[in-house]
């Protein structure tokens, strides 16, 4: 078996406690459902981060203390326009910078580049498709300072050890003086978090069950979607939202390409996603564990979310 998706699905579905990684949510259909999630009023994260980047562009750029020109490198930029307001601020103020969005999807980069060039014709944009670290290694040789962006609470989808490992790798690939702006969701009234992930229209349920459809299609399996449900739970003590697919009956699923029959019991869970929420001391600890110092936490007016500025 050559393909890592196949290997990971087999490992996850034959484990004592079944799991599937949320990184596999994002096929074309999953990416579209994620756009729907970001447009839901319950999913406050998107609007909160948009507010930060719109209202505090000046403060963020001032805090960088960069000489010009500089680079803005966005990791996992997708086809969205999260950073539009920040980029617009820079152009309106004649600040000299180059924008380097990075993503694994060529299509996403093409869409983003076309949209930005249309809306900000003067932008100096150099999209890159591929592995973050290969691109960051090259950037380390740049003569100019760089701001790395890892927005949208993406870090929250990594377990603590993996988050430290990833941030440590960012750190190693940054020059002295480079900075990282990290989008992190904050602990808050647990009901708001519950509603953002257990939405009443079932969009997040569709997002999770789409993973079973992907396995059916790509690995020739016979998951019957109606025999599965979605459950998620926020634990305010740990700040962790954990999401699961639930088997609604005793059933066997045949995954032909894996030559595997998976037994699922009534009520059995397949863990799909972690979405971690932080408080300020935890942000300080995470920064320290990955060799960074927190420069400033830029928060929206309701303190739902932070874009946390870190330096080496
Ligand atoms: C991409 N990631 C930060 C989202 C989150 O909030 O964990 C994915 C998501 N899962 C359910 N809703 C949104």
Q: Which atom of ligand 1 is nearest to the CA of 34?
A: 13
Give the whole-angstrom CA distance, residue 83 versus residue 191: 28
- Decide whether any atom of ligand 1 lies within 6 Å of the 197 Cβ: yes
Q: Are residues 204 and 298 in the same domain?
A: no
Q: Are residues 212 and 177 in the same domain?
A: no
Query: Which of 275, 276, 278, 304, when mutated, tests ligand 1's pocket best, judged by the most ligand atoms within 8 Å of its CB?
Result: 275
Q: Are residues 157 and 241 in the same domain?
A: no
Supply the range of the domain harboring residue 157: 44-188+278-311
Mean pLDDT per 10-residue interval, the chain, length 312 residues: 89 98 93 93 97 97 96 88 92 97 88 94 94 87 95 97 96 96 98 98 98 98 98 98 98 98 98 98 98 98 98 94
Query: pLDDT tens across 224-253, in order?
Result: 999 999 999 999 999 999 999 999 999 999
- Decide whether any atom of ligand 1 lies within 6 Å of the 275 Cβ: yes
Q: CB atoms < 10 A from the CB of 90, how many? A: 21
- Decide whether any atom of ligand 1 lies within 6 Å of the 199 Cβ: no
Q: Are residues 166 and 59 in the same domain?
A: yes
The number of angstroms, rounded, from the C-alpha of 211 to the middle of its chain's C-alpha atoms is 17
- Decide whether any atom of ligand 1 lies within 6 Å of the 208 Cβ: no
Instruction: List the residue whose alpha carbon is closest to atom 1 of ligand 1.
Output: 154
Q: Are residues 262 and 165 in the same domain?
A: no
Is the complex ipTM more than 0.90? yes
Contact at 8 Å (CB) between 121 and 91? no
Residue 275 C-alpha to ligand 1 middle, in angstroms?
Answer: 6
Domain count within the chain = 2
Q: Are residues 147 and 214 in the same domain?
A: no
Instruction: Give the CA distances from residue 84 to residues 7, 52, 77, 286, in Å, rounded to whole numbers and listed in that order.
Output: 38, 12, 11, 28
Q: Are residues 50 and 119 in the same domain?
A: yes
Q: Are residues 205 and 83 in the same domain?
A: no
Q: Are residues 114 and 22 in the same domain?
A: no
- At residue 105, the pLDDT reads 82
CATH number (domain holding residue 169): 3.40.50.150
Query: pLDDT tens across 32-73, in order?
Result: 899 999 999 999 999 999 999 999 999 999 999 999 999 999
Instruction: List the residue whose alpha carbon is closest to atom 2 of ligand 1.
Output: 154
The pTM (predicted TM-score) of the whole model is: 0.95
Instruction: Give the CA distances from residue 8 to residues 2, 68, 107, in Å, rounded to whole numbers and listed in that order.
Output: 11, 44, 25
Q: Are residues 106 and 66 in the same domain?
A: yes
Residue 92 C-alpha to ligand 1 middle, in angstroms?
Answer: 32
Q: Which atom of ligand 1 is nearest to the CA of 232?
A: 11
Q: Are residues 79 and 21 in the same domain?
A: no
Q: Is the dihedral of CA 288, 291, 295, 298 positive or negative?
A: negative
Q: Are residues 75 and 61 in the same domain?
A: yes
Pairing of strands 251-255, 240-247: unpaired
Contact at 8 Å (CB) between 104 and 134? no
Residue 84 C-alpha to ligand 1 middle, in angstroms?
Answer: 20
- At residue 1, the pLDDT reads 57
């Amino acid at each position: 078996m050559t393909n890592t998706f196949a290997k990971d699905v087999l490992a996850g579905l034959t484990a004592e406690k079944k799991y599937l990684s949320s990184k596999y949510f994002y096929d074309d259909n999953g990416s579209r459902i994620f756009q729907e999630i970001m447009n839901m009023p319950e999913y406050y994260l998107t609007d909160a981060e948009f507010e930060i980047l719109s209202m505090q562009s000046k403060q963020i750029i001032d805090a960088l203390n960069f000489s010009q020109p500089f680079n803005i490198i966005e990791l996992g930029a997708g086809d969205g326009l999260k950073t539009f307001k920040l980029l617009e601020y820079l152009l309106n103020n004649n600040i000299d910078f180059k924008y380097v969005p990075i993503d694994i999807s060529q299509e996403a980069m093409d869409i983003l580049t076309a949209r930005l060039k249309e809306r900000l014709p003067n932008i100096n944009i150099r999209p890159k498709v591929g592995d973050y670290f290969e691109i960051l290694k090259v950037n380390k040789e740049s003569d100019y300072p760089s701001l790395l962006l890892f927005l949208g609470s993406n870090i929250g989808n990594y377990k603590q050890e993996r988050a430290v490992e990833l941030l440590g790798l960012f750190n190693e690939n940054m020059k002295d003086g480079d900075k990282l702006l990290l989008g992190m969701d904050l602990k808050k009234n647990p009901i708001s978090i519950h509603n953002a992930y257990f939405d009443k229209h079932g969009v997040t349920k569709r997002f999770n069950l789409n993973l079973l459809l992907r396995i059916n299609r790509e690995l020739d399996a016979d998951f019957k979607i109606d025999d599965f449900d979605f459950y998620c739970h926020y634990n305010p003590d740990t700040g962790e939202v954990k999401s699961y697919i639930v088997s609604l009956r005793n059933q066997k699923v045949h995954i032909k390409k894996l030559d595997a029959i998976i037994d699922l019991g009534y009520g059995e869970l397949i863990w799909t996603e972690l979405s971690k929420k932080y408080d300020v001391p935890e942000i300080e600890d995470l920064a320290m564990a990955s060799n960074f110092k927190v420069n400033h936490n830029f928060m929206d007016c309701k303190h739902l979310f932070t874009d946390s500025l870190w330096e080496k």
